[in-house]
Amino acid sequence: MVLLVVLIIASLTVGDTPQEPIVLIIVCIPLAFLFFEAFFREVVITPRGVVIKKFLRKKELQWADITNVGSMIVRKKVYLLLTSTKGFHILSNAIGDFTALVAEIVERVENTRVEGEEGDKVEQGVRELFQNPVKRVADVVTTWIAAILLMGVVYFKLIH
């Protein structure tokens, strides 16, 4: 985002065409929303449940309300699916220490089982996630490639 703002400022001051900064600002608006959405995303484990914080939103799930913990793997992208009495919630492995988060959720959900309750709330595939974690580096590599490309564009814009 910083490089994009620098590019917008450079195009306003050194721009060859008046349309260039307008196009960059139009591109920047949805990217800024995505940036803030990712920057403020946080999952917090509390004694009472899971708190999922997003940009200008917050959801709280009590441990007793979680009825099922499942998982889905698409290539190297892993999703933890929390089904509760309030709907379902999806957490991806793009979150910080995803393996520790999964382990903590599994432990807490299993400890809140009500006596006489049938079936397991945690699917077997979820247990395998923290025993054999999936490493995902594509997001980091893609981000660095985008940053290097933007640095090149800013560099050529400023020396032009």
Average pLDDT rounded to a whole number, residues 78-93: 88
Residues 10 and 59 in one domain: no
Per-residue model confidence as pLDDT tens digits over 98-131: 888 888 888 888 877 655 566 678 888 887 776 7
* Residue 42 within any structural domain of the chain: no
Same domain, 78 and 149: no
Do 28 and 63 reside in the same domain of the chain?
no
Residue 64 predicted with pLDDT over 90:
no
Q: Domain range holding 148?
A: 2-37+140-159
In this structure, the answer to whether residues 57 and 116 fall within a common structural domain is: yes
To the nearest whole percent, how much of the chain has pLDDT over 70?
A: 91
Q: What is the pLDDT of residue 117?
A: 61
- 30 assigned to some structural domain: yes
Largest CA-CA distance found in the chain, in angstroms, rounded: 74
Please give the model's pTM, rounded to 2 decimal places.
Answer: 0.72
| Identity of residue 82 | L
Bridge partners (DSSP) listed for residue 74: 77
Summary mean pLDDT of the chain: 84
Q: Based on the domain organization, do 129 and 82 belong to the same domain?
A: yes
